[in-house]
Structure 1
Amino acid sequence: MRELTTIEIDEVAGAYGNGFFSDIGEAIKSAVVGGVAAGFAGAIIGGKHGGDGGGVLGFGAIGQGVGMVAGGLIGLTGGVVASAAVGWDTTWQVVGEVAKGFANGTLVP
């Protein structure tokens, strides 16, 4: 059985290869940053579209509140899982692109 090079390890989905404690730290760091960013995005999307049905009184404020909370929690959960799976480099790149889009107004939820 031959040993894998670092390039081959990077090509394997979910593989880190920097040593056990370093990999655990990277996974936690990725999960926290990605989870917060995805929770933020999910809350924005849920708040924007939560009241689209109009609600009982015609303006859907309760639906928007529930959509914001539910969207934030769903985004947080999905972000934690996805970020831990792809690793720090990809997580940081995606979060940076989302933040840039939010700052310059091109992010449309």
Structure 2
Amino acid sequence: MKELTTYEMDMVSGSYGNGFFNDVGEAVTSSIIGGIGAGFVGAVIGGKHGGDGGGALGVGAIGQLVGMVSGGLIAAVGGAIGAPIIGYAETWKLCKQAANGLLGGTI
């Protein structure tokens, strides 16, 4: 049976195998970073499109607020669940891309 090299382990999505406590630490760290990053993006997108319907009085401010809060919460939960699946390195890379997209105006 072949043992995997470090490079091969990194190529497997969400691969763990560094010992129980290291793996749990990486999963928790990935979950926290993924939840914060995805919640941030979800809140921005939800706030941007939450008031697209115009609202009951023609003012979409309440819709934007609801979209921002609910979009952020839903995305945070999804990010916290999905991040340990793809691993810490990929989660960190995606969060940096999201931050760069916000600063660059492309999010």
TM-score (norm 2): 0.88
Q: In the TM superposition, what whole-angstrom CA distance separates every residue of 1:35-91 from its partner, at most 9, and x where no partner exists?
A: 101101101111110110011100122211111111001110111112111111111
Aligned to 1:35: 35
Distance 2:92 2:12 in 1: 19
Once the two structures are superposed, the pairs formed by residues 42-57 of structure 1 within 5 Å of their partners are 42-57=42-57
- The unaligned stretches of length 5 or more in structure 1 are none
Cα RMSD (Å): 1.5
Q: In the TM superposition, what whole-angstrom CA distance separates every residue of 1:5-53 from its partner, at most 9, and x where no partner exists?
A: 3333333333211111001001111110111011011011111101100
Aligned to 2:106: 107
- The unaligned stretches of length 5 or more in structure 2 are none
Name the aligned partner's letter for residue 48 of structure 1: K
TM-score (norm 1): 0.87
Aligned to 2:7: 7
Contact residue 9 and residue 15 of structure 1 kept, 8 A: yes
Distance 1:78 1:84 in 2: 11
Name the aligned partner's letter for residue 34 of structure 1: G
Query: How many residues align structurally?
Result: 107
